[in-house]
């Protein structure tokens, strides 16, 4: 079982050890350079802050039993703009990973949470089916999250809680859009256990974005299938562990602090 050893100082490297499986299956998709099994002997470096986008990756790493090492990226302190991090993640956003045992046995870095989930899914052959029809099912809901649920929930959260003065139009627009998206998910989950049928990276991408349903102005009880799905994911020990990976001082971030707001909001090209 994975053990999280969090440290008070988020700028230090925090090591989260997971039970490393002896071998990790490499995806058998057509055209893959290498088939068979690889032994993940070196931990994957995860650049992380505990947010819904970060949890996607901790859930997947925990579910796959891959060893990983968490390097906190304190986005409230501007660590996402450090040159070393930008080299890995040019969009100055976490999460990102460096897999020391990438294709051909050489290191590879990946940014964008959806791309990381797909990469780990192909690498392990887990939670991302190789069968094309099943893969399309997963991809649809993964991209639905990346282009819809995540950005809309992010804007709803921003305008509901962080705007310097309330803008009714923006609050209504994004709260309604989250409501619509929750409705889409609820309908989808009415006749299947998970978004793509079987549990997959699409579910991992979405779960964290449904956690703050109250902050997003929603009542989860209006979405019974969504509620049931949330409970099914939280009943998975690995998913729960992934969702519990915290950086010790993250909750202390004061979003009303002008210095934090200057880092996180209204950035322009640099
Ligand atoms: N599309 C990106 C979004 C990542 C993202 O927005 N990360 C946020 C935290 S949830 C971040 O790093 N923010 C830093 C900033 O806004 O400067 C992904 O899915 O990886």
Handedness of CA 96, 99, 100, 105 (dihedral sign): negative
Residue having the nearest C-alpha atom to atom 5 of ligand 1: 93
* Helix, strand, coil percentages in the chain from 3-state DSSP, rounded to 5: 50, 15, 40
pLDDT value of position 36: 40
* Whole-number Å distance between alpha carbons of 174 and 168: 10
Task: State in Å: Cα 111 to ligand 1 middle.
Answer: 10
**Cβ-contact 108, 99 below 8 angstroms:** yes
* Whole-number Å distance between alpha carbons of 214 and 58: 23
* Whole-number Å distance between alpha carbons of 173 and 138: 28
* Ligand 1 in reach of 92 Cβ (< 6 A): yes
Task: State in Å: Cα 131 to ligand 1 middle.
Answer: 30
Angle between helices 168-188 and 224-234 (to 10 degrees): 70
* Whole-number Å distance between alpha carbons of 66 and 246: 18
Q: Nearest to residue 226, comparing CAs of 167, 265, 178, 184? A: 184
pLDDT value of position 29: 31
* Whole-number Å distance between alpha carbons of 50 and 44: 17
Q: In the numeric block, which tokens belong to residue 101?
A: 């045992």
Torsion (CA) 210, 179, 75, 170 in degrees, nearest 10: -170
Q: Which residues pair with 37 in a beta bridge?
A: 25
pLDDT value of position 251: 59
* CA 267 to ligand 1: nearest atom: 17
pTM of the model: 0.87
pLDDT value of position 45: 98
pLDDT value of position 253: 85
pLDDT value of position 52: 97
Q: In the numeric block, which tokens belong to residue 4?
A: 């999280």
* Whole-number Å distance between alpha carbons of 45 and 15: 10
Helix (H) or strand (E) holding 99: strand 96-99
Torsion (CA) 103, 109, 112, 115 in degrees, nearest 10: 0
pLDDT value of position 39: 83
Q: Nearest to residue 154, comparing CAs of 208, 232, 219? A: 208
Task: State in Å: Cα 69 to ligand 1 middle.
Answer: 19
Task: State in Å: Cα 133 to ligand 1 middle.
Answer: 30
pLDDT value of position 95: 98
* Ligand 1 in reach of 75 Cβ (< 6 A): yes
Which residues, at least 6 apart from 117, have a Cβ–Cβ distance to it below 8 Å? 56, 57, 60, 128, 142, 201, 204, 205
Per-residue pLDDT of the chain (270 residues; tens, 9 = 90+): 333 333 333 333 333 432 223 333 323 233 333 334 568 999 999 999 999 999 999 999 999 999 999 999 999 999 999 999 999 999 999 999 999 999 999 999 999 999 999 999 999 999 999 999 999 999 999 999 999 999 999 999 999 999 999 999 999 999 999 999 999 999 999 999 999 999 999 999 999 999 999 999 999 999 999 999 999 999 999 999 999 998 876 657 889 999 999 999 999 999
Task: State in Å: Cα 175 to ligand 1 middle.
Answer: 20
Task: State in Å: Cα 33 to ligand 1 middle.
Answer: 31
Q: Which residues pair with 98 in a beta bridge?
A: 45, 109
Please tell me the total number of residues recorded for the chain in this structure: 270
Identify which of 93, 113, 143, 158 to mutate to test ligand 1's pocket (most ligand atoms within 8 A of the CB): 93
Burial class (CB in 10 A: 0-12, 13-18, 19+), 181: buried
* Ligand 1 in reach of 53 Cβ (< 6 A): yes
pLDDT value of position 207: 98
């Amino acid at each position: 079982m994975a053990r999280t050893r969090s440290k008070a100082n988020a700028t230090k490297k925090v090591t989260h050890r997971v039970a490393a499986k002896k071998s990790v299956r490499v995806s058998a998709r057509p055209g893959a350079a290498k088939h068979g099994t690889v032994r993940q002997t070196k931990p994957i470096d995860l650049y992380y802050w505990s947010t819904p986008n970060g949890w996607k990756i901790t859930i997947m790493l925990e579910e796959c039993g891959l060893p990983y090492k968490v390097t906190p990226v304190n986005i409230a302190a501007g660590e996402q703009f450090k040159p070393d991090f930008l080299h890995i993640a040019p969009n100055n956003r976490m999460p990102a990973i460096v897999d020391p045992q990438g294709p051909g046995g050489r290191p590879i870095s990946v940014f964008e949470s959806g791309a990381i989930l797909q990469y780990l899914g192909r690498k392990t052959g887990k939670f991302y089916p190789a069968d094309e029809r099943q893969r399309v099912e997963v991809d649809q809901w993964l991209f639905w999250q990346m282009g819809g649920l995540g950005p809309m929930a992010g804007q709803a959260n921003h305008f509901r809680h962080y705007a310097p003065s309330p803008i009714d139009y923006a609050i209504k627009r994004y709260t309604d859009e989250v409501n619509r998206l929750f409705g889409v998910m609820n309908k989808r989950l009415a006749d299947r256990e998970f978004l793509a049928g079987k549990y997959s990276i699409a579910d991992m991408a979405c779960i964290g974005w449904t956690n703050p349903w109250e902050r997003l102005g929603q009542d989860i009880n209006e979405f019974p299938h969504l509620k049931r799905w949330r409970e099914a994911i939280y009943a998975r020990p690995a998913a729960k562990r992934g969702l519990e990976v915290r950086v010790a001082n993250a909750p202390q971030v004061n979003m009303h602090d002008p210095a934090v707001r200057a880092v996180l909001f209204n950035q322009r090209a640099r």
